[in-house]
A and B are shown apart, each in its own frame.
Chain A
């Protein structure tokens, strides 16, 4: 482990979550993510992965344990793009800076930079209904980028787009991770997505969700999309897959 100069971007300490209806979603999850780390959690559906993100963001209080996180400028990318249909791409991207009370000239500069970063230049005045799924997701990413958050939480954001678009978005996400230097916590079903983007892949067991295995990903950034076809990549993916299968039982 490398030494950290600042405190972790997010720290889960013995998190347990039992819902009022008695469902135990999470049990004893301990995890810490520093800036410069991109951690992905893979796990079967309904294992409590998203619950962990909701706890991190403060949308949900854990029934056990504690979270340490700076929630002032939190990046949260939802499962859907969650764009406001009555706002144009630019207006959507400026929403969060608006909510944080940043004045309009600075908002404009931040949104312009974010639009360039995700390659949406030329689409500023489009409404969401005329965008493709991938473009909506990029708008959503750009919206989060305007806040320059030290921590990005991704809640299965690319599940609804097609394979090719997903690979593009994975590629862009790892580029952003490298250039913006945030800490990332990413939730997904897709092993190849997890291995491709992350510095570390964690496997979560079926309910109640526990972190059962951890894999360091040794590849350096920026990663070439074709790395997916390298033997090392395939081998690591195989190991994650095996752990995932084990976690089901």
Chain B
């Protein structure tokens, strides 16, 4: 029993089973704290456990229940629009949820179309994002090293950000053709700015006293960058990455609308379904593309917790 309890206590206050099974009576876990922890005696162990357990379950319920309720209400509203507001002949505009599920997701031909399109778009988004990250890190690093470079480059970055992507669509097509390369270019242009701005902001965020410390002990430029500026920049870098990751998905879909040659992406599929009045498939494709955005955003959030969660309170971000 004690063997069972110790790995659990590592993960937090999850000795959840105890109160119900009544193991407490047989296993006084008095010797427990000696195991891993040295001196720091935190929190009295026994008394608040039940209370904490309860409040934790309650907390979980409080975070899960409201969005579930709202989600249910939205689905209800969806049914209401489909059956209450739209007469039979116009129902193709908004198919009810179960039909979207049946036709859009459960039909194997449709599903494989959708998944392959989704995969193609994912590739475009990831390649674009990767290139944007490389360019962004590189530029931000140089800008952080020399004020003059920052002054020179920054106005152009703002300009790039301000260009409406639609305005340069013909140019992109003219230079890179109407296939995948151009889609990737759109992704890069659209996701570059947040990476540069956040990385630069992060690199410059280390306090003066910390720089003084490095100066006093003779750190050179590279050491300063590696041991001070770059780690200090990580929280801001991740904030930028999450924004850019979402944008790169948008870029991939927008790119599809204009540069549709080659492997069809989810954007082309959306257009085709809309043209053919395939309401169910259209809604399914919309759901899939937002799912892609959510997954990408979530993956970067997860990476953030994994890499800097130990020392940084990322909940503020």
> Are A59 and B310 in contact (CB-based, < 8 A)?
no
- Residues in A with CB closer than 8 Å to B223 are 99
- Residues in A with CB closer than 8 Å to B234 are 86
Nearest-neighbor residue (CB-CB) of B38 within chain A:
A122
Q: Given A85-B312, A127-B310, check contact A78 B209 (CB 8 Å).
A: yes
For B23-61 the 0/1 string (1 means CB < 8 A from A) is 000000000000000111000000000000000000000
Interface magnitude class on chain A: 20 to 34
Partner of A122 from the list B40, B210, B217 (CB cut-off 8 Å) is B40
For A54-68 the 0/1 string (1 means CB < 8 A from B) is 000111000000000
> Are B213 and A78 in contact (CB-based, < 8 A)?
yes
Q: How far is the CB of A196 from chain B (nearest CB, A)?
A: 25
> Are A85 and B218 in contact (CB-based, < 8 A)?
no
Q: How far is the CB of B221 from chain A (nearest CB, A)?
A: 13
Whether, in the assembled complex, B212 has its beta carbon less than 8 Å from a beta carbon of chain A, the answer is yes
For A189-200 the 0/1 string (1 means CB < 8 A from B) is 000000000000
B contact face: mostly helix, strand, loop, or mixed = helix
Partner of A121 from the list B38, B207, B227, B228 (CB cut-off 8 Å) is B38
Whether, in the assembled complex, A123 has its beta carbon less than 8 Å from a beta carbon of chain B, the answer is yes
- Residues in A with CB closer than 8 Å to B312 are 85-86, 129
Q: How far is the CB of A73 from chain B (nearest CB, A)?
A: 9
Q: Measured between alpha carbons, how far is A59 from B213 in the docked complex, in Å?
A: 10
- Residues in B with CB closer than 8 Å to A80 are 207, 209
Partner of B217 from the list A78, A96, A128 (CB cut-off 8 Å) is A96
Q: Measured between alpha carbons, how far is A78 from B211 in the docked complex, in Å?
A: 12
> Are A59 and B311 in contact (CB-based, < 8 A)?
no
Q: Given A82-B207, A99-B219, A121-B38, check contact A129 B311 (CB 8 Å).
A: yes
Q: How far is the CB of B108 from chain A (nearest CB, A)?
A: 49
Partner of B210 from the list A84, A128, A129 (CB cut-off 8 Å) is A84
Q: Measured between alpha carbons, how far is A132 from B219 in the docked complex, in Å?
A: 28
Whether, in the assembled complex, B153 has its beta carbon less than 8 Å from a beta carbon of chain A, the answer is no
Q: Measured between alpha carbons, how far is A121 from B39 in the docked complex, in Å?
A: 8
Whether, in the assembled complex, B277 has its beta carbon less than 8 Å from a beta carbon of chain A, the answer is no
Nearest-neighbor residue (CB-CB) of A143 within chain B:
B213
> Are B209 and A85 in contact (CB-based, < 8 A)?
no
Contact residues of B with A, CB < 8 Å? Answer: 38-40, 207, 209-210, 212-219, 223, 227-228, 231-232, 234, 308, 310-313
Contact residues of A with B, CB < 8 Å? Answer: 57-59, 71, 74, 76, 78-80, 82, 84-87, 95-96, 98-100, 121-123, 127-129
Contacts A/B (CB < 8 Å), 18 sampled = A57-B216, A58-B216, A59-B212, A59-B215, A74-B216, A76-B212, A78-B209, A82-B207, A84-B231, A86-B231, A86-B312, A87-B311, A96-B217, A99-B214, A99-B217, A100-B217, A121-B38, A128-B311
**Additional A-B contacts beyond A59-B212, A84-B228 (17; CB < 8 A):** A76-B213, A80-B207, A84-B210, A85-B312, A86-B231, A86-B232, A86-B308, A86-B312, A99-B218, A100-B217, A100-B218, A122-B38, A122-B39, A123-B40, A127-B310, A128-B311, A129-B312
